[in-house]
Structure formats: structure tokens, C-alpha cells
Amino acid sequence: MTEPLSLQIVGSKNLGGAERWFCRFSAALAERGAPTELAIRTGSAMESVQLPDLPVHRLPLRTVWDPISRRSVSRLIRRLRPDIVQTYMGRATRLTWIKPGTRPVHIARLGGYYALAPYRHAHAWVGNTRGLCNWMVRQGLPAARVYHIYNFVDPPRPVSPGRVEVLRDQLGIPSDAWVLLTAGRFVPVKGHAYLLEALSLLPSQIDGRPLHLVLLGDGVLGPRLRVQAEQSGTAKRIAWAGWQPDPGPYFQLADLVVFPSLDEETLGNVVLEAWAWSRPLVTSSFRGAREIACHGEDAWCVPCGDGDALAKGIEGVLRDPVLAAAMVEQGRKRVRSELGRGPVMDRYLELYRELAG
């Protein structure tokens, strides 16, 4: 069966969860033999990452009001004549205008509770949680054109133990230390301030092993978080690893993954990554976690915005290896079944065929 040709467009300047999903999803399309072409913003951070072996078009994708950017998208669509155009985030979606009832079919993929005005002109919408899809319908989008498909994460690709030890040395983490890991942009919704508060409340050692925290990411709150770490006396136990295009070795290094997001967080790919890497997970009970995680079974869930509860959850899981192992096994099962690459890609390709007619 010949799959529909799709054009995937992302207009972001910087890197984050949506951009990592764009790369992961495009690679999965290529792996399934689905004809796919990519469009990214010229001069963006996307040019620095390893993109799948697919045709890549670099477009201006400047402001949403820029007529040159809009014409460049229209010209590319006319030239390629794809069956499906899938856009990510507001910029790419607003710069893509295809008359309703005509070809190609424009899918806007949403990973958050964004203002819907920039997305309403699309022909169909994909949300990565049921809660998000229900919300879109309540906001007036036609239920028959709103589709729920979860994200997936790639299977782990472990590196050698020697490389992990080199990474530990580079981060300045003692060989006997517990390694806590979190990942995400330094923006308010990710709740990093509560994780730093939790670290200040935790004992310096648990079962004779010191605690160290690795933060993967960057963003506008970086300077404020560093000041908080200094003032709380935890700075020497924190490694600021920055944005990493391949976070796998960091998950391999971790003893525990912590995800402290606030309730506004939609899904949280870090939850899926912790499960895929067989790492115990302590997460806040944001709305995405309430949908996909089961407290005490595949994750230890604590209230959002509560540093004390986060500290108690971290300590409790580290001190209970039986609980940690049980949560790891259940998380692995979740990723293999409903949240794995195979089931998710099956659903996307079914949708593409359906919409392409």
C-alpha cells in the first residue's frame, strides 16, 4: 500500500519537547516507508540537530504576519502537492493556509492548551491527550475532526558503561551518588523551583549515598534558578547539563527521574522517557499525569507545586527498592503496549489514509 505523502512543518526558533517530537515522529514515518518531507525555519536551532534522512526544506517562517513567509509555505505546498500537511505550534500553523474542502488536508498537531484562534483554520486537529481533545471540542472545534493520539518515545539505545562513567565525571558527580534527573525548558510550567526546594529539604545522604541532581534544559528562568540553588545551599549538588539533543545517556545515568510540572502541563514526554529507560519516576499530579500515570503502580505522584511532598516522594522511592522495581516494570509494560512507537504510528497512518481518502 502506498502511504499518503505528508509535509511536516515546524517554525520554532529554539528547541524543546515539540521539536524533539517532530524529529522522532518524522524518523518513525521514514522507518515505516511513508513518503515524508520536512520544512523547518532557516537559522533556527533545528538546523543543528540530526534530522531524519528525508528531504528538508528551509523556509523563512518569520513572524506570523510576514507575507514572504506565508508565500514560501504556499509555494512549497503547490510544488510538492502533498496529501497531508501537518503543522506544529502556532507559527507554522498560522503561516499555512489551505482553503477548506480542498487538497491537501491540513492537520494542526497540538501538544498544549493553547489559544485556539491560530489553529481554527486547519482542517483537522490532533491532540496528544484525551483531556486536550475534549477541551478542544468544548472550545468549538468539530468533534468529528478532532483526533486523540498519544506521543511515543524511542526505544532506549544504551551506551557503554564506560561512557556513562565519563559522563558522570564530566558532570562532577561522585561514583557513589544517587543521580536525580529532570528534563525540560526552564519555564514556569515545568516547576523547577519546587524541585530545587525539594532538594534543599532532602538529607544530604540517603542510605549513605549523597544526592545529586542533573537538570537537562535551558530557558528564561535559568538565572533565577541558579540564584535559588545558591541561596538554598544546594548549588554544589546540581549539574546544569543544558539542552541535549540526545538525552539517552543522561537517563541511563539516572537512578530516579523527577518531573515536577504544574497542572498546566499537557502530557509530559519525560514520563514516557522514564518508563522507556526503566527508571523509577516521581512526578507531580499535573493533568497529563492524572490521565496516563497510576500512583504507586507506574509512578509516585505528588501534588503540584509542593516541594515538601516532592522531597518526601523522592526519599520514599529511593529508600524502597521493591516499590521502585515494581513501578519500573509496570512503566515498561505501558510503553510496550499503548504508548509504544508501533501502536502510535499505526494510528497516525490510519488517520492519514482516512483523511487523504
Residue spans of the domains in the chain: they are: 6-152+340-356, 161-336
**Which has the closest alpha carbon to 119: 78, 76, 88?**
88
Distance from C-alpha of 267 to C-alpha of 284, rounded to nearest angstrom: 12
Would you say residue 1 has pLDDT above 80?
no
User: Which phi-psi region, left, alpha or beta, contains residue 240 (left: φ > 0; alpha: ψ -120 to 50)?
Assistant: beta
Would you say residue 169 has pLDDT above 80?
yes
Would you say residue 155 has pLDDT above 90?
no
Q: For the segment 135-152, what is each residue's pLDDT rounded down to a tens digit?
A: 999 999 999 999 999 999
Distance from C-alpha of 271 to C-alpha of 278, rounded to nearest angstrom: 11
Q: What is the pLDDT of residue 14?
A: 85
Would you say residue 313 has pLDDT above 70?
yes
Q: For 161-336, which CATH superfamily applies?
A: Glycogen Phosphorylase B; (3.40.50.2000)
CATH 1.10.40.30 applies to domain 6-152+340-356: no
Region 346-350 average pLDDT: 96
Distance from C-alpha of 305 to C-alpha of 282, rounded to nearest angstrom: 13
Q: For the segment 65-94, what is each residue's pLDDT rounded down to a tens digit?
A: 999 999 999 999 999 999 999 999 999 999
Q: What is the pLDDT of residue 101?
A: 85
Percent of the chain with pLDDT over 70: 100
Q: What is the pLDDT of residue 337?
A: 82
Q: What is the pLDDT of residue 306?
A: 98
The grid coordinates of residue 14 equal: 529554539
Percent of the chain with pLDDT over 90: 88
- DSSP 8-state symbol, 259: E
How big is the CA angle at 257 (ends 251 and 263), to the nearest 5 degrees?
130
What DSSP element (H or E) covers 20? helix 17-31
Q: What is the pLDDT of residue 48?
A: 87
Residue reference for cell 564506560? 162
Would you say residue 338 has pLDDT above 90?
no
The grid coordinates of residue 260 equal: 515536577
